[in-house]
Structure 1
């Protein structure tokens, strides 16, 4: 719970190289740890774990400085969204498509929207990001579906 999403959209045209390198360079320069990542050619969405980020008690100041780094550098427009929960599904690599289908059907039947998702090539860990107000219900629904 307490997850912040940064939606970072390139200010440059489609197909420009180096966008992700610039994004992660800004994150490094600002000493901000990234948790979950979802990308496309011109945008990247990142979650920031409050346990890793806000231990210095500079939440708003750090976030403002981070957004300003992207804007001043002409790298991207950034939208900050707060109040999300990450739910991780650990699954068999050979069954991830079927598991995702079941998970999305179960969540949809409970009127829970997935705001963002990330799945690596290993397909072992799938992260679903939902609104914090739906987090507990999402866990109940998924537990009922799979167990």
Structure 2
């Protein structure tokens, strides 16, 4: 089996981030953790993922500090996988993916799950990229400054 290429030393933050969370199963595990799933069996049931793959992805997410393993909240012998602050910081990424999916992957009248705020039970406002002064930007109004060699 070929060795997996790593971008851990890349100068590009996107490449490094994709190395850690770019796998679809990892993102779905994080999504489920935001939805309150904490146990291996719950992740497996919800995702329909083979035990060996789920085990490997959970191990990676823990190794990268996105999830931590805690004793079961109910006092049982089972442990739980809980988002760390680093993991909770992925919320904006998941919201962005969700909103992109809502805009591009559903027919206009097609039903789908909706993310609501807990205070008013209303859908979240569309995320926007802004400059330092709060002006909304599109992709043509930003550029990447590469590292000089």
TM-score tier after normalising by the smaller chain length: under 0.3
Higher relative contact order (CA 8 A, sep 6+): 1
Greater per-residue strand proportion? 1
TM-score by length of 2: 0.25
**Which structure has the bigger radius of gyration?**
2
